[in-house]
Amino acid sequence: MYTFPFLSEEHTMLQDAAREFAQKEIAPVAEKFDHSGEFPIKNVRKMGELGFMGIEVPEDYGGVGMDTLAYVLVMEEISKADASHGTIVSVNNSLYNKGIMIFGTDEQVREWVTPVATGQAIGAYSLTEPMSGSDAGNMASRAVLNDAGTHYIINGIKSWVTSAPYADRIILFTMTEPEKRHRGITAFLIDTSQAGFSRGKTEPKLGIRASATSEIIFDNYECPVECVLGQPGEGFKIAMAVLDQGRIGIASQALGIAQAALDASVAYAKEREAFGQKIGQFQMIQHKLAEMKTRVEASRLLVYQAAYEAVLAKKSGARITLPASMAKLYASETAMYVTTEAVQIHGGMGYSKEMPLERYFRDAKITQIYEGTSEIQRMVIARQLTELR
Ligand code: CAA
């Protein structure tokens, strides 16, 4: 791997710490958790203790006070060992913590971010509903301000909420003024221990099986007005801006999966023999490895560029929509391409559960779907170019 000039000693130290933890504590149990679909709660707590759940959160608020580059380095290392662990780290750091840090008040950051950044609590982000996925603004759930003006009463069902079965805190997006369409959506901070909140069906998934995903149900949940994130009606923009951050996380998760599949393929090509020679000496395998390596490194550059733009945007407030969507699109398409080729290079062993290749292949697929499908990323990128949004 190359050393990038903008990575400081602190960055590489954190990267080394993440790699060591991932290879020692995550990689050996990844297959077991994938098989059982159990949530790796012990490792989640340990990652919290190591600071991996509050990478960009200032030390005063319980985090390690580093930047988005540090975050993507950790994400790649964790996801190389297991994408399910990567999903949990990503949602806590970018969708939950970052969302509140950008749009919350100082009090909200202290109360809602610190427990997640220190690993004592688990965060989630809830936008999708059974009838609205890509068309995120078209939601049926509702929040109505009570007559006293003290609480919003929330009702409705949200779906595909990552970490929801274990989440203590959730950023929720729901409709407060339906006639205003996307301008009538508000973001709320939800405490899952309160009455009126419950969990619905858990999703049985193809990949990232150890990351828990479920519906959440609001039945007259009373949310104090102090728990509105940002201003009423600003929810859609908050959701989109936070997804810009989240998409960098998913891009680095995809990069980690692809790197793991590439590393395994190179090792196998040097070791496995067919027709009297190592398969890595065959031109058809060489062609595959060359394509895989080039796409992985191109993904890495896009991921680092997007992370760097996020670092700059912290001061300038600029939108990072374009670099984030390009990184997510390219890295997730690469993860699918590379893991498909990796299974092919391994032949029968690639298809067997005795090796992790089939898990990489199943895990890669979600990166093309969640936090905006590849089709949505292409739409976002093209709109940035043509409509100056
Ligand atoms: N940052 C800030 N504002 C933004 C923005 C961004 N990135 N993107 C759009 N906006 C603003 C626009 O400027 C516009 O503002 P005005 O009201 O002032 O005009 C407003 O939001 C509406 O924007 P659009 O007209 O572009 O909205 P749209 O309805 O056409 O939808 C979309 C745009 C890109 C398709 C969006 O709906 C989208 O990203 N869909 C995919 C949703 C998604 O990623 N879901 C995944 C959820 S999380 C998950 O996967 C599960 C999990 O737990 C991890």
- CATH label of the domain that carries residue 373: 1.20.140.10
Taking the centre of ligand 1 as the mean of its atom positions, its distance from the CA of residue 321, in whole angstroms, is: 10
> Of 189, 218, 235, at which residue does a domain stop?
235
- pLDDT at residue number 249: 98
Taking the centre of ligand 1 as the mean of its atom positions, its distance from the CA of residue 263, in whole angstroms, is: 36
Say if residue 95's pLDDT is above 90.
yes
Ligand 1 in contact with 63 (CB < 6 A)? no
Q: What is the pTM of this model?
A: 0.97
Span 269-294, mean pLDDT?
Answer: 98
Within this chain, do residues 248 and 378 fall inside the same structural domain, yes or no?
yes
pLDDT in tens, 338-384: 999 999 999 999 999 999 999 999 999 999 999 999 999 999 999 99
Ligand 1 in contact with 112 (CB < 6 A)? no
- pLDDT at residue number 388: 59
Is there a domain that residue 1 lies in? no
Within this chain, do residues 108 and 169 fall inside the same structural domain, yes or no?
no
Is there a domain that residue 2 lies in? no
Ligand 1 in contact with 304 (CB < 6 A)? no
Within this chain, do residues 191 and 208 fall inside the same structural domain, yes or no?
yes
Residue 309 known to be catalytic: no
Say if residue 277's pLDDT is above 90.
yes
pLDDT in tens, 170-188: 999 999 999 999 999 999 9
> Which residue's C-alpha comes closest to atom 22 of ligand 1?
182
Please choose from 89, 237, 309, 373 the residue to mutate so as to test ligand 1's pocket, defined by most ligand atoms within 8 A of CB.
Answer: 237
Within this chain, do residues 185 and 273 fall inside the same structural domain, yes or no?
no
Is there a domain that residue 330 lies in? yes
Q: Are residues 372 and 306 in contact, defined by beta-carbon separation less than 8 angstroms? A: no
Please choose from 240, 247, 326, 377 the residue to mutate so as to test ligand 1's pocket, defined by most ligand atoms within 8 A of CB.
Answer: 240
Ligand 1 in contact with 239 (CB < 6 A)? no
Is there a domain that residue 100 lies in? yes
Span 290-319, mean pLDDT?
Answer: 97
> Of 235, 270, 294, at which residue does a domain stop?
235
Is there a domain that residue 3 lies in? no
- pLDDT at residue number 6: 77
- pLDDT at residue number 319: 96
Say if residue 1's pLDDT is above 70.
no
Number of structural domains (the chain) is 3
Q: Are residues 116 and 292 in contact, defined by beta-carbon separation less than 8 angstroms? A: no
- pLDDT at residue number 4: 73
Closest atom of ligand 1 to CA, residue 372? 44
Span 86-109, mean pLDDT?
Answer: 98
Taking the centre of ligand 1 as the mean of its atom positions, its distance from the CA of residue 109, in whole angstroms, is: 24
Within this chain, do residues 73 and 115 fall inside the same structural domain, yes or no?
yes
Residues of the chain with pLDDT > 70: what percent? Answer: 99
Q: Which residue in 56, 77, 215, 371 is the catalytic one?
A: 371
> Which residue's C-alpha comes closest to atom 10 of ligand 1?
237
Q: Which of 130-134, 329-333, 343-347, 357-361 has the lowest mean pLDDT?
A: 130-134
**For residues 137 and 333, which has the higher predicted lDDT (pLDDT)?**
333
Ligand 1 in contact with 308 (CB < 6 A)? no
- pLDDT at residue number 5: 75
Beta-strand pair 151-162/213-224 = antiparallel
Distance CA(153)–CA(173), nearest Å, equals: 13
Span 231-237, mean pLDDT?
Answer: 98
Taking the centre of ligand 1 as the mean of its atom positions, its distance from the CA of residue 348, in whole angstroms, is: 42
Is there a domain that residue 253 lies in? yes
**Domain membership of residue 64 as a residue range:** 9-122
Say if residue 16's pLDDT is above 90.
yes
- What average pLDDT does the structure give for the chain? 97
Is there a domain that residue 307 lies in? yes
